[in-house]
């Protein structure tokens, strides 16, 4: 049986813990030995150092000039450059009081040289109506796993809020004794959790990651008596943080005006009876057959007098939800006297977009559109969020408890704007005079050049036989764009055999027609002769906030958790 590899360590001046050899025992009498190479500065790094140094050393002033001219950090100050110097002192790789090439290289690979600026914070205009933003949105936020049999819990709600998610969905059902309210996925084997626990979890964690408003969407399957119970619990839990406008909104307020506010959105009770009757009179079309009911519909066949008996529940609802009566041609009607939230499944949106793309974009300039996964995604998988975003949909609702490329894209989008959970939509989606048509082919506006130099950190963060029992890993990198269809593509480097510190020096070019909606996808895989490559890390970055120059790009695991040491050295340039 193969054994855990042995390492032979030879102390060096720059890293006293860096091993120089690795042995793999393949049988009782044979061992394979591989030399472990340390990361070395690529030629581009050497040339940059030569251009911004004198006599082999770089002063604070030299580094400041490098930051401004080469890295494009026009606002960099001498204090910023001195801070970088100070961050490297513990490495003991200074020459006198200045940086030599090795120290400069270690800075480029450090957390101080991230691809997104750590100083930007919330920098979008936050005083526009809510409809002008993409919102970090969860779907069935209480589920811990699949849609059919997993537990319901407050834990995924708390985790989502701490990540910055701003829209939480709760499905409300009578409990077993019909005297209180549970949250669960109705008609399945999911175990319920009490509504009061969910609301308390939201109240305690809503504004840890962001001070901008949290919207709770209810899928309501309650009697009027239990709706009154919900109203009482919600008011008692949130108190003054609950946003309760006196009249139905004619225009959505801004995130800035709603800081640290909780907003309830669902279908008003009076409309449940009409909704129930309509659904029993009309045949469902093919798109709706595989989906659960629209998430802001539901409810029972209440009598009108019962509905009118719960005004306190109606008063909870700040953002009214529901469809205009009639077919698909009426869904996107914009009433100048009020605003509303419309919910569609991913299939319904795709079908509607074939004919009504510009109507959808115009609708989302004043109203909210929520898009949720189709009902047959029992494994809690997700769909391409760009389909919603390019049509202006603010709430692309995702199952946050899973993982996969679409969830990574979602995480990437909301790294923008300081991670506050609100990203301002690009101007072309908000222009009422010239409505954007997602189906129109557009010219290339810019080209993003991406160069992948090298990677490091797997030797520290993984078991040394994690990727291959008999040799070091064979890593390759996949780089691409997630965006509108014309911009979307993925490319890859070649695999570098038997190296913990692979060097690729591979450059890619990505022409972009809609850079405002583009995200840079990066994945590292380990080649396997079986055809099933091993996962070595991923990240997704909003192109709109990508910093030019040579950058250290930290990678994340499948769940979106950052590795301690794994990172790539890359260069970004717009031409």
Q: Please write the tens of the pLDDT for every residue from 544-561.
A: 999 999 999 999 999 999
Distance CA 385, CA 443 (A): 23
The predicted-structure confidence for 498-535, as pLDDT tens digits, reads as follows 999 999 999 999 999 999 999 999 999 999 888 899 99
Structure tokens at 336: 């100048």
**Catalytic residue (choose from 185, 221, 391, 464):** 185
Distance CA 186, CA 177 (A): 16
- Report helix, strand or coil for 107: helix
The predicted-structure confidence for 37-87, as pLDDT tens digits, reads as follows 888 999 999 999 999 999 999 999 999 999 999 999 999 999 999 999 988
Across-strand partners of 369? 342
**What percent of the chain has a predicted confidence (pLDDT) above 70?**
86
What angle separates helix 78-88 from helix 101-108, to the nearest 10 degrees?
100
| CA 39 vs CA 109, 223, 456: distances in Å | 10, 65, 7
Q: Are 360 and 352 in contact (CB under 8 A)?
A: yes
Distance CA 295, CA 56 (A): 64
Distance CA 540, CA 414 (A): 10
Q: Are 190 and 401 in contact (CB under 8 A)?
A: no
Structure tokens at 529: 């002769």
The predicted-structure confidence for 118-159, as pLDDT tens digits, reads as follows 989 999 999 999 999 999 999 999 999 999 999 999 999 999
What pLDDT is stored for residue 271 in this prediction? 54
Backbone angles phi, psi at 393, to 5 degrees: -65, 125
Other C-beta atoms closer than 10 Å to the C-beta of 129 total 19
Q: Are 314 and 270 in contact (CB under 8 A)?
A: yes
The CATH fold of domain 43-113: Recoverin; domain 1 (1.10.238)
163: enclosing H helix or E strand: helix 155-163
Other C-beta atoms closer than 10 Å to the C-beta of 273 total 17
Q: Strand 519-526 relative to strand 534-542: parallel, antiparallel, unpaired?
A: antiparallel
198: enclosing H helix or E strand: helix 195-205
Average pLDDT over all residues of the chain: 89
Q: Are 548 and 71 in contact (CB under 8 A)?
A: yes
The predicted-structure confidence for 470-484, as pLDDT tens digits, reads as follows 889 999 999 999 999
pTM of the model: 0.89
Q: Are 341 and 370 in contact (CB under 8 A)?
A: yes
Residues 190-222, buried b or exposed e (16+ Cβ, 10 A)?
Answer: bebbbbbbbbebbbebbbebbebbbbbbbbbbb
What pLDDT is stored for residue 530 in this prediction? 81
447: enclosing H helix or E strand: strand 446-456
Distance CA 565, CA 554 (A): 8
What pLDDT is stored for residue 32 in this prediction? 66
Across 160-231, the runs of DSSP E, i.e. the strands, are: 167-174, 181-183, 193-194, 214-220
Best CA proximity match to 115, nearest among 421, 382, 479: 479
The predicted-structure confidence for 423-469, as pLDDT tens digits, reads as follows 999 999 999 999 999 999 999 999 999 999 999 999 999 998 899 88
CA 504, 509, 510: angle at the middle one, nearest 5?
130
- Report helix, strand or coil for 152: strand
What pLDDT is stored for residue 292 in this prediction? 47
Domain ranges of the chain: 1-14+21-36, 43-113, 130-429, 442-574
Distance CA 366, CA 364 (A): 5
CA 229, 230, 234, 235 torsion-angle sign: negative
Q: Which CATH architecture has domain 130-429?
A: Alpha-Beta Barrel (3.20)
Write the burial class of residue 55 (CB in 10 Å: 0-12 exposed, 13-18 middle, 19+ buried): exposed
Other C-beta atoms closer than 10 Å to the C-beta of 157 total 29
Backbone angles phi, psi at 334, to 5 degrees: -105, 110
Write the burial class of residue 421 (CB in 10 Å: 0-12 exposed, 13-18 middle, 19+ buried): buried
- Report helix, strand or coil for 145: coil
Model confidence band, residue 297 (pLDDT cutoffs 50, 70, 90): very low
What pLDDT is stored for residue 471 in this prediction? 87
Residues 327-364, buried b or exposed e (16+ Cβ, 10 A)?
Answer: ebeebbeeeeeebbbbbbbbbbbbbbbeebbbbbbbbb
Average pLDDT over residues 247-266: 97
Does residue 124 carry a catalytic annotation? no
Instruction: Between 234 and 12, name the one with better pLDDT.
Output: 234
* Residue-wise DSSP of 63-103: HHHHHHHTS--TT--HHHHHHHHHHHGGG--EETTEE-HHH
Average pLDDT over residues 206-218: 98
129: enclosing H helix or E strand: none
Q: How many residues does the chain have?
A: 575
List Cβ neighbours of 251 (8 Å cut-off, separation of 6 or more).
129, 339, 366
What pLDDT is stored for residue 325 in this prediction? 85
pLDDT over 90 (residue 183): yes
**Catalytic residue (choose from 139, 391, 411, 464):** 139
Does residue 185 carry a catalytic annotation? yes
Chosen CATH of 442-574 out of 3.40.50.620, 2.60.40.150, 3.30.1360.200, 1.10.3720.10: 2.60.40.150
The predicted-structure confidence for 309-353, as pLDDT tens digits, reads as follows 588 999 999 999 998 888 898 999 999 999 999 999 999 999 999
Structure tokens at 28: 């009782």
Structure tokens at 501: 């510190």
pLDDT over 60 (residue 18): no
What pLDDT is stored for residue 97 in this prediction? 77
pLDDT over 70 (residue 96): no
Structure tokens at 113: 């040289």
């Amino acid at each position: 049986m193969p054994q855990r590899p042995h390492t032979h360590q030879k102390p060096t001046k720059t890293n006293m813990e860096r091993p120089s050899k690795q042995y793999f025992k393949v049988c009782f009498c044979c061992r394979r030995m591989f030399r472990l190479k340390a990361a070395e500065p690529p030629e581009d790094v050497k040339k940059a150092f030569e251009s911004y140094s004198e006599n082999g050393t770089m002063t604070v002033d030299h580094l400041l000039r490098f930051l401004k001219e080469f890295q494009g950090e026009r606002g960099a100050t001498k204090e910023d450059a001195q801070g970088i110097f100070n961050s490297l002192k513990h490495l003991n790789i200074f020459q006198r009081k200045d940086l030599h090439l090795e120290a400069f290289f270690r800075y480029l690979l450090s957390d101080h040289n991230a691809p997104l600026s750590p100083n930007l914070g919330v920098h979008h205009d936050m005083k526009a109506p809510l409809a002008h933003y993409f919102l970090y949105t969860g779907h069935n936020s209480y589920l811990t796993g699949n849609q059919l049999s997993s537990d319901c819990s407050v834990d995924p709600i708390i985790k989502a809020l701490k990540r910055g998610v701003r829209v939480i969905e709760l499905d409300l059902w009578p409990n077993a004794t019909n005297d209180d309210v549970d949250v669960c996925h109705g008609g399945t084997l999911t175990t319920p959790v009490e509504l009061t626990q969910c609301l308390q979890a939201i109240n305690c964690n809503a504004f840890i990651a962001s001070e901008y408003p949290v919207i709770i969407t209810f899928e309501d399957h309650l009697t009027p008596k239990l709706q009154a119970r919900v109203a009482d619990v919600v008011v008692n839990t949130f108190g003054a943080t609950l946003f309760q406008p006196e009249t139905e909104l004619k225009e959505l307020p801004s995130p800035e005006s709603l800081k640290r506010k909780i907003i309830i959105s669902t279908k008003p009770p009076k409309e449940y009876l009409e909704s129930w009757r309509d659904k029993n009179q009309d045949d469902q079309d093919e798109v709706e057959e595989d989906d659960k009911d629209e998430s802001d519909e539901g409810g029972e066949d209440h009598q009108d007098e019962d509905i009118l008996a719960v005004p306190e529940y109606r008063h909870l609802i700040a953002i009214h939800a529901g469809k205009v009566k009639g077919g698909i041609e009426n869904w996107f009607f914009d009433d100048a006297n009020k605003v509303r939230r419309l919910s569609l499944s991913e299939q319904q949106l795709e079908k509607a977009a074939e004919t009504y793309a510009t109507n959808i974009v115009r609708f989302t300039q004043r109203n909210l559109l929520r898009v949720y996964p189709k009902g047959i995604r029992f494994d809690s998988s997700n769909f391409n969020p760009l389909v919603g975003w390019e049509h202006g949909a603010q709430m692309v609702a995702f199952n946050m408890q899973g993982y996969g490329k679409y969830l990574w894209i979602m995480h990437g989008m909301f790294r923008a704007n300081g991670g506050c959970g609100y990203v301002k939509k690009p101007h072309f989606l908000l222009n009422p005079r010239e409505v954007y048509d997602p189906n129109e082919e557009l010219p290339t506006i810019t080209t993003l050049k991406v160069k992948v130099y090298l990677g490091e950190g797997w030797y520290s963060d993984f078991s040394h036989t994690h990727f291959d029992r008999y040799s070091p890993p064979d890593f390759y990198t996949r780089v691409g764009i997630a965006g509108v269809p014309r911009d979307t593509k993925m490319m890859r480097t070649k695999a570098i055999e038997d190296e913990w510190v692979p060097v690729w020096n591979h450059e890619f070019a990505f022409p972009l027609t809609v850079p405002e909606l583009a995200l840079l996808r990066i994945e590292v895989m380990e080649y396997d002769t079986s055809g099933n490559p091993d996962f070595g890390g991923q990240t997704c970055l909003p192109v709109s906030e990508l910093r030019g120059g040579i950058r250290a790009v930290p990678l994340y695991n499948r769940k979106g958790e950052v590795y301690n040491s794994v990172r790539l050295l890359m260069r970004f340039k717009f031409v």
